[in-house]
Chains A and B, each alone.
Chain A
Amino acid sequence: AAGVIQSPRHLIKEKRETATLKCYPIPRHDTVYWYQQGPGQDPQFLISFYEKMQSDKGSIPDRFSAQQFSDYHSELNMSSLELGDSALYFCASSHQGQGDSEQYFGPGTRLTVT
């Protein structure tokens, strides 16, 4: 079965550079969630989109922005990167964005800021 696809899988950037992470949800899933997991930390919710509109915002820095496109894929844009942004970024998708719908996670993008 098709799963959530994230690209790239690994990304190395320097401080103050920008990065774009992409997420392709499972077909027919209309909700996308972004999570950040720092080293040794729990996943932290960043932002979510339902039907191409932002549905909720968590602990996402102002330097980050995201959107969901007409084909339901989502992109997380990160500017003025800092060393502390180094983390594993997971995207998850679900159907209808309801709390009782399972979220299916992608493999993650490991971002390293040097």
Chain B
Amino acid sequence: ILNVEQSPQSLHVQEGDSTNFTCSFPSSNFYALHWYRWETAKSPEALFVMTLNGDEKKKGRISATLNTKEGYSYLYIKGSQPEDSATYLCAFPSPADYKLSFGAGTTVTVRA
């Protein structure tokens, strides 16, 4: 199991504010990085799969960047809304067998 770390563990954000949080992963033998959004009582929803250093992907108000050389990815939420409240998981597939190792997640709570 590969060491994938996310910080902070939780965030409280005022509606309308923007926020970001980090996923760090082993920088050697990088293959891809996955971001998932996980709402309570639902299954994880795929957000992004990032493969190239310098990649930046966007879905609505959510975007992510990738630095494979230093082993981190940022996820940004612009103009947070209450529906953005969820746990955001990053996952790193092993280059050898594609088995995903998940971070512990960053739980975002958006206050109206």
A: which residues have CB within 8 A of B?
4, 33, 42-43, 45, 48, 55-56, 58-59, 90, 92, 97-108
Contacts and interface: CB of A to CB of B under 8 A. Distances in A.
B102 A56 contact: no
A104 B104 contact: no
A101 B34 CA distance: 9
Chain A contact residues: helix, strand, loop or mixed: loop
A56 B98 contact: yes
B98 A97 contact: yes
A103 B51 contact: no
Chain B contact residues: helix, strand, loop or mixed: loop
Given A4-B43, A48-B99, A107-B42, 4 more contacts: A43-B44, A45-B101, A90-B44, A92-B44
A44 B95 CA distance: 17
Contacts of A97: 98
A89 to B, nearest CB: 11
Query: Which of B1, B97, B98 is the most central at the interface, judged by chain A CB atoms within 10 Å of its CB?
Result: B98
Contacts of A33: 100
B76 interface: no
Contacts of B1: 45, 58-59
B97 A55 contact: yes
Nearest to A48: B99
A42 B3 CA distance: 12
B32 interface: yes
B43 A90 contact: yes
Nearest to A45: B99
Q: Which 3 A-B pairs have the closest CB atoms?
A: A99-B93, A102-B46, A105-B43
Contacts of A105: 36, 43-46
Query: Which of B42, B43, B103, B104 is the most central at the interface, judged by chain A CB atoms within 10 Å of its CB?
Result: B43
B49 A56 contact: no
A58 B99 contact: yes
